[in-house]
Amino acid sequence: MKNYALNPKHGDGDKSRQHKINYVEALNDQQWQAVQQIEGPQLVIAGAGSGKTRTLVYRVAYLVEQGVDPESILLLTFTRKASREMLRRAALLLDDRCQRIQGGTFHSFANTILRQYAAHLDYPNNFTIIDRGDAEDIVNMLRAELNLDKKQRRFPKKRTLVEILSKSINTNRPVMEVLADDYPHFLDDEPQIMELAGRYLRYKQTKGLMDYDDLLVNLRRLLTEQDGIRRKLSRQFRYILVDEYQDTNLLQAMIAALLASEHANLMVVGDDSQSIYAFRGAQFKNIMDFPKIFPNTRVTTLEQNYRSTQPILDFTNAIIASAKEKYSKNLFSEISGEQKPVYLQALNEREQSQFICQRILELREEGIPLDEMAVLFRSGWHSTELEIELNSRNIPFVKFGGMKFTETAHVKDVTALLRILYNPFDAIAWYRSLLLLDGVGPATAREVIDDVVEAQKGPEILAAPEWSKRKIGGELTRLRLFIAESVSNNFSPAEETKRVLEYYLPILKKNYDDYHKRTHDLEALAKIAERYQDLEAFLTDLTLEPPENSQIDTTATDKDEEKLILSTIHSAKGLEWHSIFLINLVDGFLPATQSLQREEDIEEERRLFYVATTRAKQQLYLLTPELERGGGLSYFDTRTVFTLPSRFIQDIEKFSNLTEQWTITLKSEESETTEEKSDDGTADDGAPNFLKNINDYFNEHRN
DNA sequence: GATTAGTCGATTTTT
DNA sequence: TCGACTAATC
């Protein structure tokens, strides 16, 4: 096995003599090659478990040890988890110089930059970031304005509308094309949808709002329209690394390329076999096309797997071998282990859950910590049955993915109130806050907003007799006084949150029977607020980098106690565990019903299956419940149907020697250093014309 | 005319 | 569990 320990001693390995870290010992040849070449464009094709993160982390450390200013290193990742993990590991490896490395998700990076330069795009620098829910609320409001909510029965719902618009942006296709491809039944509504899209855009701009997509769109605009800024930023970030490149969309690929346009010191790392974000515009073609933008790209492939045993790898290789399109990689491992992946058929979900609980406890007995085991599934709600069983046996767990903290009703209520305090002209926040009041519905809320927000009269107008005399006057006065107190004092985010809670808790108790658990969430929120100096930063982080989990679904236990991990496959990406239980391997669950129509969607589901199975280090359990839950709750529900094992499993059965079949038996009981290059990017040494390539490439793809 | 209580139905994945 | 839709109520 590879020696992963840091080797502080100098001497052997001539290349790294002057370094604190012995790279040659810590890395294999390919990894070391990727780490070592610090100038020029680089593409690293990294198979699952091949030490991708490790390579990135060591490369960052290497750069710093070479004397590169950490602040000129930019590390772009796809998820917050990955970004945090990477910076943490880099700091651990070297020293706190690594903490000055710039990094984050594309979205959070865009936020940082736009806070400085938004004025160049006719946006205020103190713009507000809105989440999906807010976007839906605005679209819904605009839809009502256009009377599109009554006219036709089949006009798309707010959720679908936002989805269509977002898809159009992220996949770089006109709305018309998105409709034709994905929503043919709404094709006739194209003119109205376009009208709505225009209004939505204008609404956001006049109110200083940006949704997730706007962050990327506007950053790209900044980089393409403001040449001076592009150059400045590109020189500031001299070394750029992009993780999970197969999951970038065209917009993100373009941003990365533009940022590197002055120097082409861009290293992208990815694995086409693990591309699972096509629904959000990702195109793994970006990987293959990278050398087209940067012709002198050096390509490295990492094939040695340091995660899984060979039997598991044999199985996962077989999964991806049946994929239609892929780069061939042949992963191998030197990790010993005999245990083949285990395939189990359960009678139903309940038996599936019981088996998992039983097996988990056995493994626990054998000394495997709970948090080294994970149960993976296609979508958040697939684990509800299991959660019940875990709760009844007092097995502690945390769940990744699924309902997020900031998406719960009570947290949204509180943030809406906070947003009013931050900006008393935030119509969407007013709307939500007003609906909390007794006797106020959509119509009354609209009236209030027209007066307070649209007519720019501010909250104080609610003191006027026309409002105070109404039946709801008392409620409105309470709200008005609450806001006024904030305005006249300069409260910290923590104090504001406390005040909001005082105001809100009675409402919470009235509305929800489970207010106790929800109160816990809100107390957690108040704790988080303590970390912030100003409300803007607090609210921004809440939409951009929200805390992972709500208390609601997790058992209330000590924080340090080890817990079993439940996770959607998407959220499990990049992580690994000793043992993996992959549940509900049934056609319709994985692959999901919605994906069965199109071949490319099924291919993505296959990659999802691949991602899930490659998370396992030592043991992999594949479970198929034979009975799907019926549509209803009754045991007599005739819609209960026999289901087919996932087609991916059926594929694999051709290679039945790769798995082992078990039958379930349940036990009883329960900076600026380079020379100026000319504007077209061509230097004397004949360096390729990057900027031109970038523009050519993206123009070609803009249709 | 607006609000609310109550029923029904459906539910991918994430920044 | 949540949101959309419907019918009864203010």
What is the dihedral sign for C-alpha A525, A528, A533, A536?
A: negative
Distance, Å, A515 CA → B6 C1': 21
Is the pLDDT assigned to residue A652 strictly greater than 80? no
Distance, Å, A402 CA → B14 C1': 10
Closest nucleotide (C1' vs CA) to A407 is C2
- Which residue gives the smallest C-alpha to C1' distance to B10? A631
CA atoms within 13 A on the CB side of A301: 10
Q: What number is the average pLDDT over the span A130-142?
A: 86
Closest nucleotide (C1' vs CA) to A403 is C1
The answer for residues whose C-beta is within 8 angstroms of residue A447's C-beta and 6 or more apart is: none
Distance, Å, A192 CA → B12 C1': 27
Distance separating alpha carbons of residues A675 and A662, to the nearest angstrom? 65
Between the CA of residue A424 and those of A12, A225, A421, A459, A542, what are the distances in Å?
Answer: 65, 33, 6, 7, 19
Query: Beta carbon of A231 within 7 Å of strand C?
Result: no
Rounded to 5°, angle at Cα A191 from A187 and A192: 100
Q: What's the one-letter identity of residue A227?
A: D
Distance, Å, A287 CA → B8 C1': 46
> Helix %, strand %, coil % for chain A, to 5?
55, 10, 35
Query: Beta carbon of A157 within 7 Å of strand C?
Result: yes
Strand C: which residues 496-515 of A lie within 7 A (CB)?
A: 514
- Which residue gives the smallest C-alpha to C1' distance to B8? A632
- Which residue gives the smallest C-alpha to C1' distance to B1? A443
Range with the poorest average pLDDT among A385-389, A604-608, A616-620 = A385-389
Is the pLDDT assigned to residue A635 strictly greater than 50? no
Q: Where are the alpha helices (DSSP H) in A372-408?
A: 384-392
Closest nucleotide (C1' vs CA) to A439 is B3
Residue A351 is predicted with a pLDDT of: 87
Distance, Å, A200 CA → C6 C1': 30
Q: What number is the average pLDDT over the span A547-553?
A: 49
Distance, Å, A70 CA → C9 C1': 67
Distance, Å, A442 CA → B1 C1': 13
pLDDT tens-digit series, residues A470-513: 888 888 888 899 899 888 888 899 999 999 998 888 888 877 77
Closest CA to A619 of A679, A585, A662, A651: A662
Distance, Å, A439 CA → B3 C1': 7
Cα–chain center distance at A268: 18
Distance separating alpha carbons of residues A30 and A2, to the nearest angstrom? 14
Of residues A425 and A554, the one with the higher pLDDT is A425
> Tokens 């061509």 — which residue?
A682
Three-state secondary structure of A262-297:
CCCCEEEEECHHHCCCHHHCCCCHHHHHHHHHCCCC
β-pairing, A298-302 with A304-305? unpaired
pLDDT tens-digit series, residues A385-407: 888 888 888 888 888 876 677 88
Distance separating alpha carbons of residues A693 and A703, to the nearest angstrom? 17
Query: Beta carbon of A517 within 7 Å of strand C?
Result: no
Distance separating alpha carbons of residues A301 and A88, to the nearest angstrom? 25
Distance, Å, A441 CA → C9 C1': 15
Closest CA to A53 of A566, A573, A544, A565: A573
Q: Where are the alpha helices (DSSP H) in A512-565?
A: 515-529, 535-544
Range with the poorest average pLDDT among A44-58, A108-122, A288-302, A314-328 = A314-328
Distance separating alpha carbons of residues A480 and A421, to the nearest angstrom? 11
What is the phi/psi pair of residue A644, to 5°? -95, 140
Give me A399's structure tokens. Answer: 């769940």
Closest nucleotide (C1' vs CA) to A276 is B13
Beta pairing partners, A345: A624
Residue A638 is predicted with a pLDDT of: 37
Distance, Å, A338 CA → C7 C1': 64
Q: What's the one-letter identity of residue A140?
A: N
Query: Beta carbon of A158 within 7 Å of strand C?
Result: yes
Is the pLDDT assigned to residue A311 strictly greater than 90? yes
The answer for residues whose C-beta is within 8 angstroms of residue A397's C-beta and 6 or more apart is: A370, A387, A390, A554, A555, A563, A564, A565, A566
DSSP designation for A646: P
End-to-end CA distance of chain A: 50
Distance, Å, A133 CA → B6 C1': 25
Strand C: which residues 385-444 of A lie within 7 A (CB)?
A: 408-409
Nucleotides on strand B lying under 7 Å from protein C-beta: 1-4, 10-15
Beta pairing partners, A81: none
Distance separating alpha carbons of residues A201 and A123, to the nearest angstrom? 12
Closest nucleotide (C1' vs CA) to A278 is B13
Residue A654 is predicted with a pLDDT of: 67
The answer for residues whose C-beta is within 8 angstroms of residue A661's C-beta and 6 or more apart is: A342, A343, A344
**A306, A332 contact by CB (below 8 A):** no
Residue A489 is predicted with a pLDDT of: 83
Residue A577 is predicted with a pLDDT of: 95
Distance separating alpha carbons of residues A127 and A113, to the nearest angstrom? 12
Between the CA of residue A86 and those of A56, A58, A103, what are the distances in Å?
Answer: 8, 10, 9
Give me A47's structure tokens. Answer: 């198979």
Q: What's the one-letter identity of residue A414?
A: V
Is the pLDDT assigned to residue A123 strictly greater than 70? yes
Q: Where are the alpha helices (DSSP H) in A74-211?
A: 80-93, 106-117, 132-145, 148-151, 158-170, 175-182, 190-207
Average pLDDT of chain A is 83
Distance, Å, A381 CA → B12 C1': 10
Is the pLDDT assigned to residue A253 strictly greater than 50? yes
Q: Is A639 helix (H, G, I), strand (E, B) or coil?
A: coil
Q: What number is the average pLDDT over the span A163-190?
A: 88
> Tokens 């805390």 — which residue?
A547
Between the CA of residue A40 and those of A12, A405, A684, A690, what are the distances in Å?
Answer: 28, 41, 16, 11
Closest nucleotide (C1' vs CA) to A159 is C3
Query: Beta carbon of A120 within 7 Å of strand C?
Result: no
**A475, A486 contact by CB (below 8 A):** no
Model pTM?
0.84
Distance separating alpha carbons of residues A703 and A700, to the nearest angstrom? 6
Residue A579 is predicted with a pLDDT of: 96
Of residues A515 and A52, the one with the higher pLDDT is A52
Nucleotides on strand C lying under 7 Å from protein C-beta: 1-5
> Tokens 């490439």 — which residue?
A697
Q: What number is the average pLDDT over the span A67-95?
A: 83
Q: Is A230 helix (H, G, I), strand (E, B) or coil?
A: helix
Between the CA of residue A273 and those of A132, A153, A327, A377, what are the distances in Å?
Answer: 28, 41, 8, 19
**A287, A45 contact by CB (below 8 A):** yes
The answer for residues whose C-beta is within 8 angstroms of residue A575's C-beta and 6 or more apart is: A81, A374, A567, A615
pLDDT tens-digit series, residues A360-369: 999 999 999 9
Distance separating alpha carbons of residues A568 and A272, to the nearest angstrom? 20
Distance, Å, A479 CA → B2 C1': 22
Closest nucleotide (C1' vs CA) to A111 is B15
**Considering all CA atoms of chain A, what is the largest pairwise distance in Å, rounded to the nearest integer?**
85
Distance separating alpha carbons of residues A36 and A75, to the nearest angstrom? 17
> Tokens 């931050």 — which residue?
A422
Distance, Å, A253 CA → B1 C1': 53
